[in-house]
Structure 1
Amino acid sequence: MMNIKQFFCLLCVLFILSNYGFAQNNFQHNVLSPVEEAEGWQLLFDGKSTSGWHLYNEGNIKSAWTVRNGELVCDPTIEKVERGDLISDSVFTNYDFSFEWKISEAGNSGVFINVQEAPEFPTAWTTGPEYQLLDNANMPKDYLIDGKHSAGCVYSLSPLLNQVQPKPAGEWNTSRILQQNGVITFWLNGIETGHEDMKTERWKQLIAGSKLGNFPSFGKAIQGKIAFQDWSKGVALRNIKIKEIK
């Protein structure tokens, strides 16, 4: 039988756990800390609207991109709307960019940088390199065999620098993209996964040796817009922020 001391200890444990759960459920996303503000970080997603973003080559029209529970979602259930990549209104050159993402089972999406938005370019991926968002665990093995399609890689161009697996489908991952004078570095969940200098002969050769070499404007610009790839089965993002490097 439980004595008074044991009962009191149990109450203390339950109180701590309940407050921990409350803190977890009420943790604020899509906000900057005072330190981040002092360092020059800016939010690119306010958690309430798609302000600052529009559909690639379409402008501010209703699309499958929506906001739900503080998440920027490409919703697979919305019908009779335009589908396409969501692109930033602003152009960025040198920056530190971070975001969190989760994807559906067998999901395949991406983040494009240095995107040139113009009618002559039908999609974002024909101009700007891609940070791959992928549910590795549910993809065919032959798709991942060369490492050039795994989550976190410089899509289709170079394999992962270090092996890292994304969280399972439906769980949040943390990603980071750093660009300085055309040198790009990718991280996934704190592990460096890609590093390329877009001004080198190596970069040109990587493009020429891939399907992206079919697009003359691909990978040439070292500034441009940021875009999130449409994924018909669902992808979500949050805590999207950037610090421009002067």
Structure 2
Amino acid sequence: MNRTFNKCLWLWALMPVFIFSCTTDTNNCLSRKEKEQGWVLLFDGSSASGWHLYNKKNTTAGWIVKDQALAVDTVKKTEVNDLVSDKTYTNFDLQFEWKLAKNGNSGVFINVQERPDLTTAWASGPEYQLLDPAHADNAIPVKKAGTLFALDAQKTPAAAKPAGEWNLSRIKQVNGKIEFYLNGVLTVQEDLTAPAWQDSVRHTHFKNFPEFGKHTSGHIALQDWASGVAFRNIKIREL
């Protein structure tokens, strides 16, 4: 067997590694270890499959895939439409990257109930706040990025990156107990089953929405906001 043939065999053997392995430079891809651990992609980098508009089945109008990211179409969209996962989740570990336009303000909702009488995702789902640090609301503790919007301020200070840069966030829920992380820092711990939680809700404008924060299972929703938001590397592991 000559040297050239040996080299060809060696390259052929390595080919599956190059083709099927995720690298640190690859987005919207799971490693073999992540798959074994039960992680599933909620965005494949090329389509909005697995998502639909809130209370509007079979459409994702207003959202586009751009540069391997799931983004609001700020050019063509004519109305605000949050994007909702087709599946519902109870106990889970959700991780995602996000970036905003200048002065951007958006969010990710959990435990969303999709019903005709609930006109918006935030009428039922608590929100992980996404905010450009240059936004005026950044001066309000319960409206910074990584907070439970309008309810829980950051328990440990964590800074969001400026507009146009990617942030890493994580939401974990087990039996109604939630944890929020921003760029690796634990920012919120809350128990949605505790009387103290409902008491907190009663002191906010959410008191006017009887389904808000009452559920520990539901859809995940990405908030559509006029200034533009993009998501990538959205993955979830059911616990």
List runs of 5+ in structure 2 lacking aligned partners. 1-22
Counterpart of 1:237 in structure 2 is: 231
Counterpart of 1:85 in structure 2 is: 82
- Residue type of the alignment partner of 1:243: R
Structure 1 runs of 4+ with >4 Å offset: none
- Residue type of the alignment partner of 1:111: V
Give CA deviations for 1:36-94 in whole Å, capped at 9, x if unaligned.
Answer: 001000000010100000000112225111111210001211145x5310000000000
Superposed CA RMSD in Å reads: 1.4
- Residue 203 (1) aligns with residue 197 (2): yes
1:19-168 correspondence runs (5 A): 27-80=25-78, 82-136=79-133, 138-140=134-136, 143-168=137-162
TM-score by length of 1: 0.85
Give CA deviations for 1:175-196 in whole Å, capped at 9, x if unaligned.
Answer: 0000000000000000011110
Percent of aligned pairs with the same amino acid: 48
Paired residues, number:
217
Separation in 2, partners of 1:191, 1:79: 34
Counterpart of 2:180 in structure 1 is: 186
- Residue type of the alignment partner of 2:83: L
Offset at 1:165? Answer: 1.1
Separation in 2, partners of 1:64, 1:106: 20
Offset at 1:208? Answer: 0.4
List runs of 5+ in structure 1 lacking aligned partners. 1-24
- Residue type of the alignment partner of 1:55: L
Give CA deviations for 1:158-210 in whole Å, capped at 9, x if unaligned.
Answer: 11111111011000000000000000000000001111000111101110011
- Residue type of the alignment partner of 1:207: V
Separation in 2, partners of 1:150, 1:205: 22
